[in-house]
Amino acid sequence: MPVLRFGFWENRRAALDKEGWAMNENDYILELKDITKEFPGVRALDRVNLRVRRGEVHGLCGENGAGKSTIIKILSGVYPHGTFEGEIVIDGVPQVFGGTTDAERAGVVCIHQELALVNELTVQENIFLGNEPTRMGLIDWNELYRKTKELLDQLDLKIDPTDKVKDLGVGQQQLVEIAKALSKNAKILILDEPTSALTEHEVEILLGIVRKLRQNGVTCIYISHKLNEIYEICDTVSVLRDGQYIGTKPIQELKRDELIYMMVGRKLEMLFPREPHERKELSLEVRNFTVYDALNPNRKRVDGVSLKAYKGEILGISGLIGSGRTELVTAIFGAYPGRKEGEVYIDGVKADIRSPVDAVRMGLALVSEDRKKFGLVLDMSVANNITLSSLDKLAKLLLRSDVEIIYAEKYISQLRIKTASTEVPVKNLSGGNQQKVVIGKWLMTDPKILILDEPTRGIDVGAKTEIYKIMNELVSAGVTVIMVSSELEEILGISDRILVMSEGRIVAELDYREATQEKIMHFATGGH
């Protein structure tokens, strides 16, 4: 067996040689050899071999469920030695991680998508939590402040070490996580979807810091579904698919279509499957709609907006973060906590919507931008989540589980949800399949109008295309679809008509045939 394993690795090297990679062992800071990880009934990783060059930004791509998260957890010690097969080699030395502390001692630090900060503690307390400088057995607060300030200056982060984390924006919190990683002398920094909750400005700051880390010799492994970020920041990209290693290439030699093909295993002739739609009768009309901030009732988040949406079309709403898009659709649905004024008409009938219950009764449904917080009950089953908004259809007095399963199986089939059974906890599904469960939940209410706020956030390119196909099918079935999105390619690729918002107002209406990224950004940034 050792001989076979050695032979396999030599064949892997030969393949890498063919790809044009120099085989100087000193070039590589990290090697994963024949990594295999199994869960009950599932092989998450199958003999994965991966090499990362010293001092590069190495992209790791793949659809949800490809094995990226499993690789991260193995490399960062979350899955300790003995729970998987294969070998981790750092700087030529085989590693045995019993937990995350061992991984950090070896220089591997991971910044997860969900930040691990204590909101009530200060920045300096968070950065050095469990590793505080001491003097005579007590925390040396002067030294703690000095060391924290040094790290923050290194990242050009203009905050005080004594600020509480809860008072920082999400972008600043993400940078505090990076400072925390650097305090542990990270040689290999793993960033898992680091920009998923950041504004465009904060994204630019973070990417600038990643470039600076590269200049300082820190190796970064960068995981993101946003391919434009992969092409902007990465030197090299590796792809996983269905738990298997597909290949590694320098980013300059990898066309976007080729990368997508490596990820999904098939050519996506069109990432955005546009279908001809015929606009029909008016479905939703909003007149002079104003929404006030929930915490500051004198501030308008939406200012006098009027819009119309028709059956037979996908209406896209674009604009920068903070333009009022989410506040608008959430208030229309009756879920925004702030005060609102204006009128809403559904099929020509004035709708008095004071709560989501009223909205659902009137035929309105909203897929919120944060599916984990507002769309799903993660510990409940797929079936429970799909039927959650339609329990009146299952029984009058007692819930009939057999009827629930029939409905759940209907939407699992219709939306092509990948799940072992209706009873699987929804938290075990990939992001794309979780999003389909949320859509299924609202389709079960038989909506006339379906609003989707950031429908493809945090899901991979293959799952995105599936969501777009579902949207087209709904339009064909007579459902009015309204989509809010921050991704200009998505807005242009799937919308029939586009409304652009800026500072709480609709400032432009564009047909998709005349719309361009430049036009949308011109209006979104205050242009006339």
Instruction: Please state, in angstroms and rounded to a whole number, the distance separating the CA atoms of residues 400 and 377.
Output: 20
The whole-chain average pLDDT of the chain stands at: 86
Q: Are residues 146 and 295 in the same domain?
A: no
The token pair at 136 is 């005579």
Q: Are residues 292 and 182 in the same domain?
A: no
Is 528 contained in some domain?
A: yes
Q: Are residues 409 and 287 in the same domain?
A: no
Provide Rg for the chain, Cα atoms: 25
Instruction: Please state, in angstroms and rounded to a whole number, the distance separating the CA atoms of residues 257 and 255.
Output: 6
Neighbours of 265 (CB within 10 A): 12
- Reply yes or no on whether the pLDDT at 465 is more than 90: no
Residue 109 CB burial class (10 angstroms; 0-12, 13-18, ≥19): buried
pLDDT in tens, 250-300: 999 998 888 888 887 765 556 788 888 889 999 999 999 999 988 888 889
Start-to-end CA span in the chain (Å): 70
Q: Are residues 394 and 313 in the same domain?
A: no
Q: Is the pTM of this model over 0.85?
A: no
pLDDT at 270: 64
pLDDT at 225: 80
**CA atoms lying within 13 Å on the CB side of residue 60:** 27
Q: What percent of the chain has pLDDT over 90?
A: 50
pLDDT at 396: 65
Is 521 contained in some domain?
A: yes
Three-state SS letters, 4-62: HHHHHHHHHHHHHHHCCCCCCHHHEEEEEEEEEEEECCEEEEEEEEEEEECCCEEEEEC
Instruction: Please state, in angstroms and rounded to a whole number, the distance separating the CA atoms of residues 378 and 385.
Output: 8
* CATH number reported for the structural domain that contains residue 524 in this entry: 3.40.50.300
Q: Are 474 and 390 in contact (CB under 8 A)?
A: no
Q: Which of 201, 233, 264 is the last residue of a domain?
A: 264
Q: Are residues 68 and 106 in the same domain?
A: yes
Torsion angle, CA of 178/181/187/190, rounded to 10 degrees? -60
Q: Are residues 100 and 182 in the same domain?
A: yes
Over residues 340-358, the mean pLDDT reads: 94
Q: Are residues 172 and 246 in the same domain?
A: yes
Secondary structure E strands in 347-453: 349-350, 364-367, 449-453
Helix, strand, or coil (residue 9)? helix
The token pair at 245 is 């290693």
Which among 55, 32, 56, 35 has a CA at the least distance from the CA of 44?
35
Looking at mean pLDDT, say which of 175-179, 304-308, 458-462 comes out highest.
Answer: 304-308
- Reply yes or no on whether the pLDDT at 384 is more than 60: yes
Is 2 contained in some domain?
A: no
Which among 264, 154, 304 has a CA at the least distance from the CA of 218?
154
Q: Are 318 and 525 in contact (CB under 8 A)?
A: no
pLDDT in tens, 51-101: 999 999 999 998 767 889 899 999 999 999 999 999 999 999 999 999 999
Q: Are residues 203 and 135 in the same domain?
A: yes
Q: What are phi and psi of 143, to 5 degrees?
A: -70, -40
Question: Would you place residue 25 in the very low, low, confident or very high pLDDT band (cuts 50, 70, 90)?
Answer: low
Q: Which of 264, 293, 325 is the last residue of a domain?
A: 264
B/e letters for 308-341, b = 16+ CB within 10 Å, e = fewer, are ebbbbbbbbbbbbeebbbbbbbbbbbbebebebe
Q: Structural domain tally of the chain?
A: 3
- Reply yes or no on whether the pLDDT at 489 is more than 90: no
Instruction: Please state, in angstroms and rounded to a whole number, the distance separating the CA atoms of residues 465 and 469.
Output: 6
pLDDT in tens, 137-195: 898 899 999 999 988 888 777 889 999 988 887 778 888 888 888 888 889 999 988 88
Neighbours of 106 (CB within 10 A): 19
Over residues 397-409, the mean pLDDT reads: 82
Is 71 contained in some domain?
A: yes
Is 9 contained in some domain?
A: no
Q: Are residues 287 and 248 in the same domain?
A: no
Cα 484 → chain centroid? 15
Instruction: Please state, in angstroms and rounded to a whole number, the distance separating the CA atoms of residues 488 and 83.
Output: 42
Q: Are residues 491 and 504 in the same domain?
A: yes
Where in the sequence is the domain holding 387, given as residue range(s)? 376-446
pLDDT at 1: 26
Q: Are residues 154 and 135 in the same domain?
A: yes
Question: Would you place residue 509 in the very low, low, confident or very high pLDDT band (cuts 50, 70, 90)?
Answer: very high
Q: Which of 233, 264, 295 is the last residue of a domain?
A: 264
Instruction: Please state, in angstroms and rounded to a whole number, the distance separating the CA atoms of residues 189 and 197.
Output: 19
Is 270 contained in some domain?
A: no
Q: Are residues 328 and 192 in the same domain?
A: no
Instruction: Please state, in angstroms and rounded to a whole number, the distance separating the CA atoms of residues 480 and 475.
Output: 6
Q: Which of 178-187, 381-390, 501-510 has the lowest mean pLDDT?
A: 178-187
Question: Would you place residue 20 in the very low, low, confident or very high pLDDT band (cuts 50, 70, 90)?
Answer: very low
Looking at mean pLDDT, say which of 26-30, 428-432, 510-514 comes out highest.
Answer: 510-514
